[in-house]
């Protein structure tokens, strides 16, 4: 297969093998023990929603394979503080370097600059990366159903939770949603972007929403770019949003967050 997800996963597996040589598991475990304790990621989202607002996971993203360069020179600490001031509940930081121009250093800098819980946004395919996530201070990891088989997903989830992190499990269609619901985590991400074609459809979220039990929290991901998008999703009952491009491409991400979520159910 030659789609972009397959390509990213092949690169990622090679990267993990190299990482394992440079930083063996025992070393990562020591680093993880010395890392700052996890901040409750799900707790922050639920608290904001309980207060009657939408909860926004604001993403630090320099570039992407689908959109090219979005904000190469952005400073992660400044952006993190600005997102926090403008009402974000949590941060998401891309740590993949080859396809997204991100890095663990971006996550570390962003997290140190604010009090928000931080999602490590990467393609996690191996337990080594879960330890690595905690070692860099991550409070939550992303697991992508389309990237790993269900037994491996369960193993990665258990490990993340044993290290005190939350898990956002990402799906893109009904079959993947069934797999996601088979995990323990209540954070169900629905990616509106097809990682194989880059096509974005907000209907992905609207179609899957009725199939998500009330105890789970749907996080709509990708392609949310206008107050009209937020209004449509909010009217359908969506309360949690993961947004990157629409914020960073303005060059001033925090105020862009305020503008996107300024309605009655706004993030602030």
Ligand X SMILES: O=P(O)(O)OC[C@@H](O)[C@@H](O)c1c[nH]c2ccccc12
Under the binding rule (CB under 6 A), the answer on residue 176 touching ligand X is no
Give the number of other CB atoms < 10 A from CB of residue 264: 9
Check: CB of residue 205 under 8 Å from CB of residue 172. Answer: no
CA distance linking residue 204 with residue 208, whole number of Å: 6
Under the binding rule (CB under 6 A), the answer on residue 129 touching ligand X is no
Whether 222 sits among the annotated catalytic residues: the reply is yes
Under the binding rule (CB under 6 A), the answer on residue 243 touching ligand X is yes
Phi-psi category of 221—alpha, beta or left, where left has phi over 0 and alpha has psi -120 to 50? beta
Check: CB of residue 94 under 8 Å from CB of residue 118. Answer: no
Of residues 38, 71, 102, 244, which one binds ligand X by CB under 6 A? 244
Residue tagged active-site, from 15, 42, 59, 157: 59
Residue tagged active-site, from 121, 157, 186, 234: 121
Helix segments in 23-149, DSSP class H: 25-34, 41-50, 76-85, 104-112, 127-135
Residue tagged active-site, from 61, 89, 186, 245: 61
Q: Which of residues 19-48 bind ligand X (CB under 6 A)?
A: none
Q: Which stretch in 129-137, 154-162, 204-212, 239-247 sits in contact with ligand X by CB under 6 A?
A: 239-247
C-alpha neighbours within 13 Å on the C-beta side of residue 193: 18
Of residues 114, 156, 242, 257, which one binds ligand X by CB under 6 A? 242
Nearer to ligand X by Cβ, of 39 and 61: the residue is 61
Whether 13 sits among the annotated catalytic residues: the reply is no
Whether 59 sits among the annotated catalytic residues: the reply is yes
State the burial class of residue 149 (Cβ atoms within 10 Å of its Cβ: 0-12, 13-18, 19+).
Answer: exposed
Check: CB of residue 76 under 8 Å from CB of residue 106. Answer: yes
Nearer to ligand X by Cβ, of 38 and 223: the residue is 223
Determine the size of the site formed for ligand X (CB under 6 A).
Answer: 14
Task: Sketch the per residue contact string, 52 through 81, with ligand X: x for CB under 6 A, - otherwise.
Answer: -------x-x--------------------
Q: Which residues are catalytic?
A: 59, 61, 121, 170, 191, 221-222
């Amino acid at each position: 297969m030659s789609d972009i997800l397959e390509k990213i996963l092949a690169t990622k597996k090679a990267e993990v093998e190299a990482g394992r040589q440079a930083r063996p598991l025992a070393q990562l475990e020591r680093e993880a023990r010395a890392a700052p304790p996890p901040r409750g990621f799900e707790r922050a989202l639920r608290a904001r929603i309980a207060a009657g607002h939408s909860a926004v996971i604001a993403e630090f993203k320099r570039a992407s394979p689908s959109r090219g360069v979005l904000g190469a020179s952005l400073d992660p600490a400044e952006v993190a503080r600005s997102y926090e001031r403008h009402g974000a509940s949590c941060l998401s930081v891309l740590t993949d370097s080859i396809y997204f121009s991100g890095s663990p250093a971006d996550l570390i800098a962003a997290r140190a600059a604010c009090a928000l819980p931080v999602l490590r946004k990467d393609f996690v395919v191996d337990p080594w990366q879960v330890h690595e996530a905690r070692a860099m201070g991550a409070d939550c990891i992303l697991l992508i159903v389309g990237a790993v088989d269900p037994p491996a997903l369960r193993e990665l989830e258990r490990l993340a939770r044993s290290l005190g992190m939350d898990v956002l499990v990402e799906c893109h269609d009904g079959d993947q949603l069934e797999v996601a619901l088979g995990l323990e985590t209540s954070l169900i991400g629905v990616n509106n972007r097809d990682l194989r074609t880059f096509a974005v459809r907000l209907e992905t979220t609207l179609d899957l929403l009725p199939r998500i039990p009330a105890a789970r929290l749907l996080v709509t991901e990708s392609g949310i770019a206008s107050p009209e998008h937020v209004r449509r999703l909010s009217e359908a009952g969506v309360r949690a949003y993961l947004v990157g491009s629409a914020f960073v491409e303005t060059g001033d991400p925090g105020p862009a967050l305020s503008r996107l979520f300024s309605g009655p159910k706004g993030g602030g």
